């Protein structure tokens, strides 16, 4: 029986490197591709060295494993679907998630399409997520997307836009492992990226501060920073450079201070102290552009909802509203943020199953608008 062909999206990090090794060990015919999505040399930020360094690390892994390696260029599509969207959302005062957007429009669909044209049976990524195959005896059963086995590294939040045809061809080799297990295995088999730190930057852009990146297209528009009583404390650089609940980068003394609201008409940023977190608590929000991994639930539905990455899931009622899906949490939530995604889960014996998700468009009115 001929070996199944799989193309691994080799990013230059340890997770995708171990994924390639595991697939090779499992008997697949493995090839590796580095996705060149953003160079940014004209921005003088992450620049040429960032993507080239990641490519070189990926190539070193492929040499170590003795698997074919090539580079596919999706920079034009990434700029259109991710970067341009990123700036549009921030300009509107929202806080988008580029990782979700990339998976939805570039990293999964375009990569899969090209891989299939080149004869691959599957594609694989280094995401900490799991896939459950349809039950053999149940013709109506579908693929399920599950949270990763490591709760501290679970990346299912970024994958709620996956479709059934995509899940059919997608493999998550490290989904059943913890990060420490991945590191130990990489070290044991002498992968050259075994001790490489995890990337903390913007998806495919690199280790660059969000504010510095935004300044490449959005101008500074200074205005006053005031406390919850309206007393002036300092000056902000432009409302679009800040997000609800933000603590870093305010440049204020006698803190810590947190962003709790804004008055866009008068270009004013409002901050509060730790004891004033109630000003950014809300129990409900409206979402738009819903997507369901397998089947749309019957509304109203009681689901577990995560409204930002690494945030715990909380029970909530999800129902149809006049402007989209309305989410009402069982407990008030801190800093629900327009532009982020609310991802819906249900608890199963195998772990948290991703039901779907939607983009947060409006948050319940709090004292200070966001």
pLDDT averaged per 10 residues in sequence order, the chain, 370 residues? 90 97 97 91 53 93 98 95 95 94 96 98 98 77 95 96 98 98 97 89 67 90 96 96 94 93 95 94 95 95 96 96 92 95 96 97 83
Distance (Å, rounded) from C-alpha 341 to C-alpha 283? Answer: 16
Contact 252, 274 (CB under 8 A): no
Enzyme catalytic residues: 102, 203
Phi, psi (rounded to 5 degrees) for 363 = -110, 145
Peptide bond into 256 cis (omega under 30): yes
- Which residue shows structure tokens 């501060």? 209
Regarding pTM above 0.75, the answer is: yes
pLDDT for the residue 367 = 78
Non-local CB neighbours of 310 within 8 Å, separated by 6+ positions: none
Identify which of 287, 262, 271, 279 has the alpha carbon closest to the alpha carbon of residue 233.
271
Distance (Å, rounded) from C-alpha 327 to C-alpha 312? Answer: 16
pLDDT for the residue 41 = 52
Query: In DSSP terms, which residues pair with 287 in a beta bridge?
Result: 325, 360
Q: What is the total residue count of the chain?
A: 370
Report which DSSP code applies to 80.
Answer: I
Domains defined for the chain, CATH in brackets: 5-188 (3.40.50.620), 219-277 (2.30.30.280), 281-363 (2.40.30.10)
pLDDT for the residue 42 = 47
Report which DSSP code applies to 14.
Answer: H
Distance (Å, rounded) from C-alpha 334 to C-alpha 310? Answer: 13
């Amino acid at each position: 029986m001929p070996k199944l062909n799989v193309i691994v999206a080799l990013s230059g990090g340890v997770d995708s490197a171990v994924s390639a090794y595991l697939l090779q060990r499992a008997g697949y015919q493995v090839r590796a591709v580095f996705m060149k999505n953003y160079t940014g040399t004209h921005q003088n930020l992450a620049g040429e060295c960032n993507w080239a360094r990641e490519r070189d690390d990926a190539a070193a892994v492929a040499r170590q494993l003795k698997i074919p390696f090539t580079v596919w260029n999706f920079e034009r599509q990434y700029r259109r679907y991710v970067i341009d969207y990123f700036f549009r959302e921030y300009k509107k005062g929202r806080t988008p998630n580029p990782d979700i957007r990339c998976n939805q429009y570039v990293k999964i669909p375009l990569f899969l399409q090209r891989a299939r044209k080149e004869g691959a049976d599957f594609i694989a990524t280094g995401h900490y997520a799991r896939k459950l195959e349809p039950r053999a005896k149940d013709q109506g059963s579908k693929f399920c997307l599950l949270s990763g086995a490591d709760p501290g590294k679970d990346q299912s939040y970024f994958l709620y836009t996956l479709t059934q045809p995509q899940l059919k061809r997608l493999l998550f080799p490290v989904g059943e492992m913890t990060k420490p297990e991945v590191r130990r295995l990489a070290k044991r088999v002498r992968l050259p990226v075994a001790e490489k730190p995890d990337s903390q930057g913007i998806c495919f852009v690199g280790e660059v501060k969000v504010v510095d990146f935004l300044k490449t297209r959005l101008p500074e528009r200074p205005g006053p920073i005031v406390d919850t009583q309206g007393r002036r404390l300092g000056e902000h650089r432009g409302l679009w450079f800040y997000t609800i609940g933000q603590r870093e980068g305010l440049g204020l003394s006698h803190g810590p201070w947190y962003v709790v609201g804004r008055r866009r008409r008068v270009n004013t940023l409002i901050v509060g102290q730790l004891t004033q977190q109630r000003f950014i608590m809300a129990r409900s929000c409206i979402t738009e552009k819903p997507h369901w991994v397998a089947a749309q639930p019957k509304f109203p539905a009681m689901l577990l909802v995560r409204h930002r990455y690494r945030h715990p899931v909380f029970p909530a009622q999800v129902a149809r509203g006049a402007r989209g899906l309305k989410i009402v949490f069982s407990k008030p939530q801190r800093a629900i943020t327009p532009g982020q995604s609310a991802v819906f889960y249900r608890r199963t014996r195998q772990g948290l199953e991703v039901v779907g998700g939607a983009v947060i468009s409006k948050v319940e009115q709090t004292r200070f608008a966001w």
